Chains A and B, each alone.
Chain A
Amino acid sequence: MIYNNILLAKQSNKVDFNKKINIGIHQVRYFGSSSSPSYASPLWLHRDDENLVFIHLVNLSSNCIGGNNLISYEPNKIEEMVYLKHPLDTLLVTKDHLHAVTPIGSNDNKKAYRDILLITFDNELDITNRI
């Protein structure tokens, strides 16, 4: 999976493969109900620190509502809404636009889950300056 992403990243010209590259692997389980929704941080439209972010859907419970990825080029307009439905469906985002994902809840009395694998690429090796 990572090597498939490296192939895409190389051709995207969004990261410099002549330099060292950070590849972050981030597993996230959103686990929520309608009375206790699960949500991303930041909650609304933003860019990430990393140049390339692969958002892979790993699993999704059948009672899950929400979890729509949003793409925008300006803060007051949504360009596209993307719904990752099947395991390994992926959205690749960059700093060229803003993005967000809506919170998840459930449509029954059980908790719902949305499992996401984020694989990020950037050339910034010293991230202590983010603090």
Chain B
Amino acid sequence: MIELIKQIKEKGYCKINSNFYKFTDKELYNLQDSYLKLPKDTFHGERYRAYTKYIYKNGDLMVDNNGFYAQSKQYNYDLGGFHENLNQLKVKYLKVNYLII
């Protein structure tokens, strides 16, 4: 952890080894399996996508049901400036896939 923080502060990025995240084989399998259910992106790029947003405050993580996805034109010269209607992931789904642990 200390080395990762040092790299972020010195270089602005860091590589994190997979063993930083403690997943069982079953948890990883469930996460991987969920990608088969993703809807196809309506934009170009041959991608399948889903998105959800949480609000984190004082240690609490709450799903933001009104959250939508948008990137600014300033940072994404391609798809910035659009309101994207991406399928939202469900809280139950996320828990099943062990992201919220």
Contact = CB atoms under 8 A, between A and B. Distances in A.
What range describes how many residues of B lie at the interface?
35 or more
Given A49-B74, A130-B70, 12 more contacts: A1-B21, A1-B98, A2-B54, A3-B101, A24-B53, A30-B46, A31-B47, A40-B45, A48-B76, A115-B35, A127-B70, A130-B73
Query: Does more than half of chain A's interface fall in helix, strand or loop, or is it mixed?
Result: mixed
Interface in B1-24: 1, 4-5, 8-9, 11-21, 23
Contacts of B57: 20-21
A110 interface: no
A42 B76 CA distance: 6
What range describes how many residues of A lie at the interface?
35 or more
A12 B13 contact: no
Given A27-B34, A48-B75, A131-B82, A94 B49 contact: no
A103 B5 CA distance: 29
Contacts of B76: 41-42, 46, 48-49
A32 B15 contact: no
Interface of B: 1, 4-5, 8-9, 11-21, 23, 28, 31-32, 34-35, 38, 43-57, 61, 64, 67-83, 89, 94, 98-101
B45 A25 contact: no
Contact of B94 (A3, A22, A25, A99): A25
A25 B20 contact: no
B17 A20 contact: no
